[in-house]
Amino acid sequence: MNDIIIGIDLGTTNSEVAIVESGKVTVIADAGKKILPSFVGIDDNGEILVGETACNQYLIYPERTVKSIKRLMGQDAQVAMAGQAYTPQEISAVILKRLKAIAENYAGRTIGKAVITVPAYFSDAQRQATHEAGQIAGLEVVRMINEPTAAALVYGTGPDEAKRMLVYDLGGGTFDVSVVGVQAGVVEVLSSHGDNHLGGDDFDQQIVDYILEHLKQQGIDITGHSKAMARVTRAAEKAKLVLSDEPFAQIEEEYLLEHQGTPIHLTLELARSAYEDMIADYINATLDAAHIALKGAKLTASDIDEIILVGGSTRTPCIRERLFDEFGFEPHGEVDPDLCVAMGAAMQAAMINGQDIGTVLVDVTPYTYGTSALGYLDGMPYPYQFIPIIHKNSVLPVHKSEAFMTHQDGQRQVDVRIYQGEDPDALNNIEIGEFMIEGLLDVPAGNIITLALDLDLNGILHVSAREKASGKEKTITINNAISRFAAEELADAKQRIDGLFGENADGEEGFASESAAAAEARQLIKKAESLFETVSSEDKEDMVGLIETIVAALEVGDDTGLREPVERLNDIIYYLES
């Protein structure tokens, strides 16, 4: 039997894990919930919290809780949690470990491989960091695929009609837009564009600023109070969700803090129209990006047959309205925008695992990669002219090489810099690596150096260079890739994160050691969850309650505590199925 490969959507605000079983995609629920909030925290006893519990703790102990870590991926940053500093990779690894455990509970065996999705517009450094987070979590990342592409895979599988889709993916922290062609069982990404720091979190921030301004007018400044700020942030997010369905939202927080001895209550109304004004610039930016993607695919709005909405932030009504105005038809959203990406990841995982899912994926890079050389900028000689080598929207995998010449007689070394971006001035692009080629032949200027760039299916770049005359390939180490871990640092990070979960160094929780009663209970949970879609909400509530009790007992290994809830759940299922 093949190893299971799971599909993971590691989101800014929410994460999900999915699996393909006998041709069917399932987003795996944990205690009845398919969505795991991307929150990590440390509780009173120093235990690690992930998901809902960490999210709840955020209000009381913001200093012990981390949210939206994805925004820092690929940066040389650290976050503090309960007085300890962690890298973004480590925090992400905690979330991945939890998802891995959820999948293992479901499958009843250990899982070591995953396909993880990343925003299409994630840079090389952000992709590297995601890959590292997987390793720290003890997962082999067999592939990273772009989020809008994963969603397109879900919508692109099915009846064999040719269509062109625009995937509009607005998540908690990132925005991607892709133009995708579906024809003859091939899902072909034609172009991609986006912004890797634009999302629902920015919308929340606008509301937070509005609340802070309101308080300031009363002479109150809460920016120094982390708890009050956490409550305001949560209230802002809640108001945003309310405004998806209602024209007005009441923002109320009692006893927000004490100000000069008197308690401050927050009461404020926010109208949807006022909120839409606040976020108008962001929405405009996403539509501009959509047009850039269309142009990249050499298409116009009228060539698009379907719009697919992905990401929780697309529930904002004015986004649907604006897209309707631009394209003239309603966007699609049949597949839950929060779950779609994880489902696509699981489908790609199944494909890599050798299962035929009837669809093949062809993806592109949203970035141009190149180097800098002596050249011209605006007609003037300039030492850092950007020389594109792999162009935006090239199909992956792609291999391109370019010849360069030394410009001094007897030049023995060349400094090569690799950039990502579109600007003719290399210095305005993102430098992703730099290396020296040394020991060149002592020859006159004009010694030819061939630089080869390889962009793999994960969107990660590999670079090599060769001196043509000697045929010698120069060994290259990219020495300033910002957030990169050395192998031993990765191992240390893994040990540290394993320690947080209370595991020893070899740390695999064995399923073999589990009792028969526990295994039976897990099977029962699976069965109960498969019935959720068809049962009444009261029955579902009862079942979720029982599942929670069972899970709690499983966690502490209390087999006798299992007996009663298992029996009751069994009764409900029996009653439902008869």
Partner 1 sequence: MNSPYQILGVTERASDTEIKQAYLQLVKDNPPDRDQQRFRQIQQAYETIKDDDSRLRYALFHWPGIEFDELLGHAFKQEGVTKPMPADDFLKLLSTISIDKTLAKNFIKPS
Query: Which residues participate in catalysis according to the annotation?
Result: 9, 70, 147, 169
HSE-CB of 532 using CA atoms within 13 angstroms: 20
Window 364-423: residues binding partner 1 (CB under 8 A): 374-376, 395-399, 402-403, 405, 407
Say which residues have a Cβ less than 8 Å from residue 473's Cβ, sequence separation at least 6.
Answer: 464, 465, 466
280 vs 448 by CB, closer to partner 1: 448
Query: Minimum Å distance from CB 192 to partner 1?
Result: 16
357 binds partner 1 (CB under 8 A): no
Q: Which is nearer to partner 1, 280 or 445 (CB)?
A: 445
Query: Judged by CB under 8 A, does residue 299 bind partner 1?
Result: no
Q: Nearest distance from residue 376's CB to partner 1, in Å?
A: 7
362 binding partner 1? (CB under 8 A): yes
- Residue 80 as a binder of partner 1 (CB under 8 A): the answer is no
Q: Which residue's structure tokens are 């006998």?
A: 22
Stretch that binds partner 1, among 254-262, 267-275, 357-365, 561-569 (CB under 8 A): 357-365
- 9's enclosing H/E stretch is strand 5-10
346 burial type by CB count under 10 A (0-12 exposed, 13-18 middle, 19+ buried): buried
Q: By CB under 8 A, how many residues form the interface with partner 1? A: 26
Stretch that binds partner 1, among 33-41, 116-124, 178-186, 477-485 (CB under 8 A): 178-186
Q: Which is nearer to partner 1, 244 or 394 (CB)?
A: 394
Does 60 participate in binding partner 1 (rule CB under 8 A)?
Answer: no
Residue 280 touches partner 1, criterion: CB under 8 A: no
For residue 60, give Cα distances in angstroms to 41, 81, 234, 325: 11, 14, 12, 43
Closest listed residue to residue 167, CA positions, set 155, 159, 158: 155
Cβ pair 116, 144 in contact under 8 A: yes
State both tokens at 245.
Answer: 């369905």
Using CB under 8 A as the binding rule, whether residue 361 contacts partner 1 is answered as yes
Q: Which of 436, 449, 451, 439 is nearest to 412 (CA)?
A: 439
Secondary structure of 38-62 in HEC code, one letter for each residue: CCEEECCCCCEEECHHHHHHHHHCH
Report residue 42 as tokens.
């440390």
CB of 243 to partner 1, least distance (A): 42
Residue 269, beta-bridge partner list: 250
- Binding to partner 1 (CB under 8 A): which residues in 442-461? 445-446, 457
Question: Rule CB under 8 A: is residue 542 a binding residue for partner 1?
Answer: no
Q: Which helix (H) or strand (E) holds 571?
A: helix 559-577
According to the binding rule CB under 8 A, does residue 350 interact with partner 1? no
What 3-state class would DSSP assign to 326?
A: helix
Q: Least Å distance between CB 387 and partner 1?
A: 10
Query: What span, in angstroms and rounded, lies between the C-alpha atoms of 363 and 393?
Result: 9
Handedness of CA 352, 357, 358, 359 (dihedral sign): negative
CB of 141 to partner 1, least distance (A): 14
519 makes contact with partner 1 (CB under 8 A): no
462 binding partner 1? (CB under 8 A): no
Rounded to a whole number of angstroms, the minimum distance from the CB of residue 438 to partner 1 is 22
Residues contributing to the site for partner 1 (CB under 8 A): 143, 183-186, 188, 351-352, 360-362, 374-376, 395-399, 402-403, 405, 407, 445-446, 457
